[in-house]
Structure 1
């Protein structure tokens, strides 16, 4: 039996290798594209549901009435373990209560106004976080993509020693791809700090979940709370005995009185309507990257302690800072617009990098028109699929199957691009490139 590998086998293996590279590039492109849009998650919610009641502030007693009304409406449903009250902030001036089964908007008096209907905005963020895969699998893959993006950014600088000196050099566009490579390199230089920050924080967010699961399985018998508790605060001892609704108003009043410089963003009820319930208030600190500090209260509204995200260990503060740095929610609209600009640049870098890679392979004699056509399908298919899913939201409402619509549309665009390319090739004379259909 000969040990020589058939040339056809080698060729097929190279094609498979190239296809895998194309898939990785496609996922990087989609994560960059959706992440750029997800920066405006709050604004997208207001566009998607423009008729929700809005207010700049809400009275603590109105919040209390809303909490009690929502808990009463949950009777007969599966027990809610956590209830979240989103309080009005500048970019999303709405009061919204979410439970394990539902989400509703409150009016300024604390009455339930209507159900929250932001399924497309949530789908976009979920697509960015997990690629619509099962939570742990998806977020781990996205974390790995963050590591890849970081490696590509840093290795690109090392591989081009003149990259900073030529930061504003753009050569003429030509058939050899020099102009495209220059744009790729220039965008990479101009957006390098942003790309490194986004890739690093994305990798940390994505791989932190996998690390937490591994530590919990190995050291705490699968108890995730034991892993997250020292960083984000302990849950407390559960006691399922029935109890009245907790005094959220007292907790909010305490925050206004004792922490007037803290902007309260959320009130979180743990195990509501049980004797084991307690309240956490999340408050943003000015000029800090942390997403907020957790202020713990007993069920009767008595302040107990903070989690230490604002003044605890450096590890705690760093962990609490990754989210706002990753999504650009720390400096108002100006920072979000900067993230939009640099995010588009990063998306273009992902797109042009694969074109440059395919061009180099072609110059080495490896002609892969189907892969190039497939990549064209990815570049155009991503935005088309997002627009199609948004149109489905407008036509079908909040219950539209957004993941199926998005991935189905993207698949059809890619397949259509490949089929169109093959049809064009077959219509050309293989000897001189003359269009046979024209004769």
Structure 2
């Protein structure tokens, strides 16, 4: 399935571009599902048709029933509240015996109110659910949260999976058969079997979402209204997306003002915007990222007519994507006595980087974003000797540990 995740700085017009992207895909004869996390009236106004309210969600799908917005295009609003109530109900059912043991009373469905973070979890669940229904949809377009939140969201499945592995190591599950002996002799606390079963189910869910995010057909489409603030936000987010292995298929420069205005104020604003747009084009085009340009309509886009004008310029690149360049290890032992790990991080700045070796892992930070990277096997027997950032690529140098590296005769 072709999946396009649309994000950008707040107020850049993400919802409009997501709708235009979805309409452009539907015009090619594909069956398209547009999912939006915007809970306000903007998606309805842009599409020119009311979407089913969140309260209309039924069953286990984390969105309200889709509305046909155009031939081949269905749109739906993600339903965090309903999804949270479904998850909470399942958790209560699974833990019924524990609640009985503690003398706790389960919460009624009417008492279950959405908690912070429910929106992020429902969006991840929607990604997986849409891909599970791939026979129905050929293209999925997702109107994501603002770009920094979106990067953190796309990193969440890997982070939660790592936390579960640390808190409930799978190898400890094998020792549950020895629980009575251990409890009697050593008083080692052993988690309940149901806890491990729940953790295993969560791991499967997280792995499925990661598979969607890392799929060859999944890309990120960045949206920005050119300007100094947008340029800085995109630069940081771009490095964060690269850190987490997400590929950008295109940058959409939105609401571009026309040239030659007789109004001096408008002409000055257009000139300033054009300068920022030129800088963005130079940066993104140099790395092979397509740049799309959408004009300012002189009004907020409303309905099928306006959306059709934008869809003409919001077409998708060809299906699939080129394989991402691997984070390669270069063998320079013979010439320089070291191995180097090359990590592409376009947009990163030296002063924003953080690098810590922790056992067999490398903790890498880029601005507000962080990822724990397992070291390739050869590098686990080495020590970090330095790092350098050149032309958007971080090169980490490793020298062999003489106590661990095999000696040659």
TM-score under structure 1 normalisation? 0.24
Greater RCO structure (CA 8 Å; 6+ sep): 2
**When you count helix as a share of all residues, which structure comes out higher?**
1
TM-score under structure 2 normalisation? 0.26
**When you count strand as a share of all residues, which structure comes out higher?**
2
